[in-house]
Amino acid sequence: MKMGKMRELSHAARDWLRKVRKAGRELFMIDRAIAAIIRLPVVISLGAVRHAPRGCRTKILRGAIRSVSRPAPTGSGEVCEINSLADFNSGYARLAAMLGQAGRGPSPGEVEFLSSIAKRRTSYPGTVGRSDYLFLSALVSILAPQRVIEIGTLTGFSAAIIAAALARRHGGDGTSWVDTIDINVECAIDRTRLSGFEIPETFPELVPLIRLHVPRDATFVLQIAKRDELQVIFIDADHRHPLPLLDLLRVAPCVRSGGWIVLHDIQWGTIGRRAAEAGESLWWGPSYGAEWLFIYWPFRKISGGNIGAVQLPHEKSALVPFALYMMSIQFEIVDKHARTMRRALYESLGALG
């Protein structure tokens, strides 16, 4: 028999065997049983301890015991929605009081910049909406960190919002900037353009304040920031559970205790599901990763509507039981990708320190 024919036959046999195996697994519901078992809290806890670096095993074990014995709390936390420019000053004052900066007001020019946005740009799908950017601008302006890191650039719009707020607090002398990170070099909504294209096109004055890092993901933060350095991080990347959790755990070593992590699309699962039910077509399907992360966050949190800020606890190891609980919620990704994410989550717990 010719070599080519033999290869063809062996491929056909392999495909047939795969099909038989798959049918068998479906018949006996093996896949579903495995998925249910790996979501059992005790199995997740054992996995966490097994993957933990030697020096951290006891800490992870303690967190695992807490995650099994205590149900995760839920709730919306404090609320500060800023729905229009007319509400900006009052919303800003409320948020400032919540963040321990009562009496602080917007920087000169901040409101004018925000009011110029609608005239300046075309709005693109996937970028932060108006009430989201009013909240984001106010939070950055109130806390006035020296630098902010963003995960998820897309067109660069939210990076520009953050940069503008920083520039108005610190001036544009290069001591303050935004690092924005995206997994895609080409913009996810328009592959003919580069991620971050809106920055030079719409906000050229902010170019010197924004450093674009592509193609990168949240693991890159450990290379550009020191441990406990950051006060504010903005996470707006892949919203499928557990990716926002993984992004948060990956950046947490560089965020100081009491620092804030701003999460976008904390209502995206619900909004997306309702839109799908109403027959509307969406650029991105409904994902609950950011929504669940915010709802189950057991520490301080402030909701601004579809955007929210969660505060890191004093002891970062307190994140371990929370993360293990979150890992028991069915992932919105499957197969090999889910296995890779599970392992990455375990590794990020060990890096919390």
Binding site for ligand SAM (CB under 6 A): 126-128, 151-155, 157-158, 181-184, 188, 195, 217-218, 236-238
Q: Which is nearer to ligand SAM, 60 or 251 (by Cβ)?
A: 251
Torsion over CA: 314, 349, 64, 78 (sign): positive
Q: How far is the CB of 317 from ligand SAM (least distance, A)?
A: 25
Q: Which is nearer to ligand SAM, 111 or 214 (by Cβ)?
A: 214
Between CA 114 and CA 109 the distance in angstroms is: 9
> ∠ at Cα 297 (292, 302), nearest 5°?
100
Q: How far is the CB of 48 from ligand SAM (least distance, A)?
A: 22
Q: Which is nearer to ligand SAM, 56 or 263 (by Cβ)?
A: 263
Q: How far is the CB of 281 from ligand SAM (least distance, A)?
A: 17
Copy the structure tokens of residue 242.
């557990």
Q: Which is nearer to ligand SAM, 251 or 327 (by Cβ)?
A: 251
Q: How far is the CB of 61 from ligand SAM (least distance, A)?
A: 29
Residue with tokens 């304040």: 209
User: How would you classify residue 228: left for phi > 0, otherwise alpha for psi between -120 and 50, otherwise beta?
Assistant: left
User: How many C-beta neighbours within 10 Å does residue 158 have?
Assistant: 26
> ∠ at Cα 15 (11, 19), nearest 5°?
170
Q: Which is nearer to ligand SAM, 124 or 299 (by Cβ)?
A: 124
Asked whether the beta carbons of 233 and 259 are under 8 A apart, the reply is: yes
Q: How far is the CB of 299 from ligand SAM (least distance, A)?
A: 24
C-alpha atoms less than 13 angstroms from C-alpha of 329 in its C-beta half-sphere: 20
Q: How far is the CB of 151 from ligand SAM (least distance, A)?
A: 5
Between CA 45 and CA 195 the distance in angstroms is: 38
Asked, as a colleague might, if the bond just before 242 is cis with ω within 30 of 0, I would say yes
Between CA 139 and CA 92 the distance in angstroms is: 8
Q: How far is the CB of 332 from ligand SAM (least distance, A)?
A: 13
Q: Which is nearer to ligand SAM, 142 or 160 (by Cβ)?
A: 160
Helix, strand, coil percentages for the chain (3-state, nearest 5): 55, 15, 35
Nearest residue (beta carbon) to ligand SAM = 152
Q: Which is nearer to ligand SAM, 110 or 198 (by Cβ)?
A: 198
